[in-house]
Amino acid sequence: MKCVLSHIFASMKRNVSVLLLSMLLASCQSTKQFGIDYMVPANVGFPPQLKRIAIVNNVNDTSGNLSLPVENTPTGTDESVKRTVHFDGIAGSVAESLAEHIAVANYFEEVLICDSALRTRDVLPRETALTQEEVKELTEDFGADAILALEDLWIESVNAVEFIPGQYMYCGTLDVTIRPKVNIYIPSRSTPVAIINAADSIFWKKYGKTRTSVVPVIPAEQMAKEIIDFAGGIPVKYLMPHWETANRYIYTGGSTEMRDAAVCAGNNQWEKACKLWEQAALSKRKRLQMYAALNMAVYNEMNDKIEDALMWAMKAKQLAREEEKIKDGTPINYVSHYYSIASYLSELQIREGNAGILNAQMERFKEEF
């Protein structure tokens, strides 16, 4: 069964829940925000016995080995000028970058790279998947278990220069959107076992007193280097488990125990903070119980005790529902404690649902411990 994954990500856009959390934090001074790192599973699962992969460039590049154009700048006399440019000829470099990013992750025993494009003999541009015969030949030549082929690469830039009247300055921006397509092949299948269509964007900004001082926004050579490195890293999160950072917060006020616990947490004494939160959870005040329950949920999540974290988060949600008199059909207040805790509970439920998938994907490392 073929797996097709299409995801669009914009690196400069933030998740809505993070924005709402920021709004809550702005309205409530008795909280502390911080980030936690946790591992999430890949979209594509590789069996543990698949240990050697080869990366190939299967992009048709009829324009030859063109570099990113130096003249990627707005022209004209208007205060704001935009221009779109498509970049060609860098698929080989992006394929090498993809191989480097995968190798650094140390998920596979060996990552190999084919140093020549497979479609150099094509006269007309075409997107053609590898045949089963080609896959068998490549895996035999490289001694690989699977082939990851860069099939298509779409890169578009929008360069703008805008005059800022209030500051009497010019602002130059360059926004580059990159969409690499990667197919995954194994010798026993006549079609790709998975197709990854991913996208992300990289952004630069430069201020200056004159138009010419902000053009170009970034030197062409540096731009090419950063785009190639960035493009090669885009598909990686879909291919193997990876770390993500999430915003979390704890309540720091409401009682002496809560304030003392906040000091302990600030000094990285989380066990002491936990004991104080357990005391606060016994309070007769529902609001204080809610504060303590949410903090206990975060503490358990940080220690990878997701089931315990879920239990405390559900308790905090119920307490918030009672404290804020939330009923079915009540209009949502996006800066309420109830909404914020409910959003956090949803994130924990996603982590719980991903646990089995993640464990299966990390199976290949068990023999090392």
Give φ, ψ of 14 to 5 degrees.
-105, 155
Both tokens of 161, joined, read 């220069």
* Helix (H), strand (E), coil (C) string for the chain: CCEEEEEECCCCCCCHHHHHHHHHHHHCCCEEEEEEEEEECCCCCCCCCCCEEEEEECCCCCCCCCCCCCCCCCCCCCCCEEEEEECCCCHHHHHHHHHHHHHHHCCCCEEEEEEEECCCCCCCCCCCCCCHHHHHHHHHHHCCCEEEEEEEEEEEEEEEEEEEHHHCEEEEEEEEEEEEEEEEECCCCCCCCEEEEEEEEEEEEEEECCCHHHCCCCCHHHHHHHHHHHHHHCCHHHHCCEEEEEEEEEECCCCHHHHHHHHHHHCCCHHHHHHHHHHHCCCCCHHHHHHHHHHHHHHHHHCCCHHHHHHHHHHHHHHHHHHCCCCCCCCCCCCCHHHHHHHHHHHHHHHHHHHHHHHHHCHHHHHHC
Give the model's pLDDT for residue 119: 58
pLDDT at 120: 53
Class of CATH domain 13-35+245-368: mainly alpha
- Determine the Cα–Cα distance for residues 161 and 143; give it in Å rounded to an integer: 51
- Give the pair of three-digit tokens for residue 118: 């497979």
Question: Given this chain, do its domains 13-35+245-368 and 52-242 carry the same CATH topology?
Answer: no
- C-alpha distances in Å from residue 57, one per residue of 16, 53, 69, 105, 184: 36, 14, 21, 20, 12
The residue written with tokens 């902000």 in the block is: 214
Q: What pLDDT sits at residue 126?
A: 52
Which pLDDT does position 15 carry in this prediction? 44
Return d(Cα 269, Cα 277) in angstroms, integer.
Answer: 13
Tens-binned pLDDT, residue by residue, of the chain (369 aa): 334 444 433 333 434 444 445 444 444 458 999 999 999 999 999 999 999 999 999 987 654 433 444 444 554 444 444 555 555 578 999 999 999 999 999 999 999 998 766 655 554 455 688 999 999 999 999 999 999 999 999 988 888 999 998 888 999 999 999 999 999 999 999 999 999 999 999 999 999 999 999 999 999 899 999 999 999 999 999 999 999 999 999 999 999 999 999 999 999 999 999 999 999 999 999 999 999 999 999 999 999 999 999 999 999 999 999 999 888 877 776 668 999 999 999 999 999 999 999 999 998 887 553
CATH topology of domain 52-242: Double Stranded RNA Binding Domain (3.30.160)
- Which residue ranges make up each domain of the chain? 13-35+245-368, 52-242
Q: What is the pLDDT of residue 117?
A: 66
